[in-house]
Amino acid sequence: MASTTVTSEFTLEKERKELLEAVQCRLNFAIISHPDAGKTTLTEKLLLYGGAIQQAGAVKARGEQRKVTSDWMELEKQRGISITSTVLQFDYSSSKINLLDTPGHQDFSEDTYRTLSAADNAVMLEDAAKGLEPQTRKLFEVCRMRKIPIFTFINKMDRPGREPLELLDEIESELGLIPWAVNWPIGSGDEFRGVIDRRDRSVTLFEKGERGRQAEESHLQEGDPELSKRVELRLLNKALEELDLLEIAGAELNMDLVHSGEITPVFFGSAMTNFGVRSFLDAFLELAQKPMGRISSGELVDPLSSEFSGFIFKLQANMDPRHRDRVAFMRICSGRFEKNMSVRHARTGKLIRLSRPQKLFGQEREVVDEAYAGDVIGLNNPGMFAIGDTLYTGSKIEYEGIPCFSPEIFSHLRNPNPSTFKSFNKGVNELREEGAVQVLYDTDPSKRDPILAAVGQLQIEVVQYRLEHEYGVQTYLEPLGYTVARWVIGGWSILEKTGRIFNCKTVRDSWGRPVLLFKNEWNLNQLKEEHPEIEICSVAPVVSGLDPIRS
Ligand code: G4P
């Protein structure tokens, strides 16, 4: 008996050690940037280091391939925008890295929010000549909502750019984020000579390689006489003076503040010439936040818990139109995930066997045998998963849901062709489940056409485009002149008690709950003044244990 206890304790200890090792070497992040800042280029260089791709140009090439294999990505090509997001997993040094790619257009900030809800770190990429740009600011706000650590990479130092001190000031004054430069540039543009590492004062010199595309990096110490032979004194002195200024100004690199998203470590480099990318990756791996625990019913679930848990943060249908597949992206939060394991679906209470879980690399799939906290895997979704769903083993875990953004654009979606009624409903339901758009309905049951509600116009266009190309249904829109939506906390009974409300339209959401639509903020304020008894909120409350009404 005693020996059995000792053996099981030994096994438990061994399992815990294995889990600890597996979680400690995992890391995930998303890159946020304005289009053209160099996200594709940086991603590609990171993947090259990870050995995930063998040649430069492969990510773009994959992008091209992707564009021809998926219908709605054709729209991305036509419009020159990036709508979809993918997950790229690669190994580097002894780390297993999950890079969560986010859509590059502000109309899809809700999708970005969902992706960021699965990320433990963000890399904010800036173009040195442009500094903060509109899309970066918006995406930053999304990161701030989640309080995740943000690492800044100031790119294109090989081109004339703005003064580095000015770029740091801008981050601090406009985002309220304290920058802490990890390295400091010597010159910029044609006079860019390299960077000084602030932590040990080592210098990495930049020399343009062939056709200006690939840089040579060489390393020296600050006092090395070789340095003054290779770098103009004027440039070196300026960089050293600026570094002294930073030291006097003085914030310290407090890792608690980095991890709570208050201090951003800043790196200067050039993704295109591959300068400073490896040192960025090395420092990032050292400083980044390891897989975080999540809150379930007010309690933090330890990523090292022996029980498995994870949540669905993204659904995507028809990634590969040849197979009409539906993929649910799951972020693993605790325990060990194994292929074919049976897990409990928190919302419905059903037991589900997870066969054929996939590791994703853009469009490519590979079956995974095991995964741990911090990893993202793709699950086959026959329609049972919704965004925010928790899966677990052991005692019940239900992670906090992912809130929807408040829509600002509303349009009736009409289907003029009754013979496509079934496909129309299927398409609308599936796209709503994916979170591509929110769907509202008239309170009058005879008016069955859905009202599409979105944060940005492009979202609605993508839905129409996908309905046509994936479900074979042509539709037209009738825009409604509303710009503000509010959910009624007390439900229908409170509205019945209130009676008629002027200057707003009452509709129901996909869960049958009342939503008020207003033409403008002024009408909204009017309601607040005239009916203080109606409690309202701007985002749809997260629904648990309930299935939505289908069209
Ligand atoms: P994105 O995904 O953020 O939209 O940006 P992407 O990587 O596609 O880069 C946008 C442009 O900026 C590309 O040029 C790219 O080569 C260039 N770029 C990226 N990093 C650097 C850098 O460190 N220095 C310089 N000088 N340029 C950089 P393009 O002309 O649009 O494309 P291509 O000619 O490279 O194919």
Nearest residue (CA) to ligand 1, atom 19? 38
Core vs surface per residue 515-525: b (16+ CB within 10 A) or e: bbbbeeeebbe
Q: How far is the CA of 41 from the centre of ligand 1 (A)?
A: 6
CATH number of the domain enclosing 225: 3.40.50.300
**Residue finishing a domain among 287, 302, 337:** 287
Nearest residue (CA) to ligand 1, atom 29? 36
**Same domain as 350, residue 443:** no
**pLDDT of residue 69 exceeding 60:** no
**Same domain as 313, residue 268:** no
**pLDDT of residue 442 exceeding 80:** yes
pLDDT, average across residues 419-429 = 93
Mean pLDDT of the chain: 85
Sign for the CA dihedral angle at 460, 461, 465, 468 comes to positive
Say how far apart CA 370 and CA 285 lie, in whole Å. 22
Number of structural domains in the chain: 3
Residue 545 lies in a domain: no
Residue 277 lies in a domain: yes
Task: Reduce the DSSP state of residue 262 to 3 states and report it.
Answer: coil
Say how far apart CA 385 and CA 390 lie, in whole Å. 9
**Same domain as 452, residue 335:** no
Q: What is the pLDDT of residue 70?
A: 39
Nearest residue (CA) to ligand 1, atom 30? 36
Q: Find out whether the beta carbon of 415 lies less than 6 Å from any atom of ligand 1.
A: no
pLDDT, average across residues 147-174 = 96
Q: Find out whether the beta carbon of 155 lies less than 6 Å from any atom of ligand 1.
A: yes
Residue 517 lies in a domain: yes
CATH number of the domain enclosing 362: 2.40.30.10
Q: Find out whether the beta carbon of 133 lies less than 6 Å from any atom of ligand 1.
A: no
Q: What's the helix, strand, coil split of the chain in %, to 5? A: 35, 30, 40
**Same domain as 271, residue 310:** no
**Same domain as 473, residue 348:** no
On the 0-12 / 13-18 / 19+ scale of CB atoms within 10 A, 79 is middle
Residue 141 lies in a domain: yes
Residue 4 lies in a domain: no
**Residue finishing a domain among 343, 361, 392:** 392
**CB contact at 8 A, 420 and 366:** no
Q: What is the pLDDT of residue 68?
A: 31
Model confidence at 121, in pLDDT bands (50, 70, 90)?
very high
Token code pair at residue 144: 């701030």
Say how far apart CA 181 and CA 168 lie, in whole Å. 8
**Residue finishing a domain among 358, 392, 426:** 392
**Same domain as 372, residue 331:** yes
Residue 445 lies in a domain: yes
pLDDT in tens, 126-153: 999 999 998 788 788 878 888 899 999 9
Q: Find out whether the beta carbon of 272 lies less than 6 Å from any atom of ligand 1.
A: yes
**Same domain as 387, residue 423:** no
Residue 8 lies in a domain: no
- Pairing state between β 178-181 and 263-268: parallel
Return the closest-CA partner of residue 121 out of 283, 336, 335, 241: 283
**CB contact at 8 A, 30 and 123:** yes
Residue 20 lies in a domain: no
Which residues form the domain of 169? 29-287
Say how far apart CA 407 and CA 538 lie, in whole Å. 9
**Same domain as 334, residue 217:** no
Q: How far is the CA of 37 from the centre of ligand 1 (A)?
A: 7
CATH number of the domain enclosing 497: 3.30.70.3280
Predicted structure pTM score? 0.81
Candidates 76, 213, 272, 280: which one to mutate for ligand 1, based on the most atoms within 8 Å of Cβ?
A: 272
**Same domain as 468, residue 349:** no
**Same domain as 283, residue 153:** yes
**Same domain as 482, residue 385:** no
**Same domain as 267, residue 316:** no
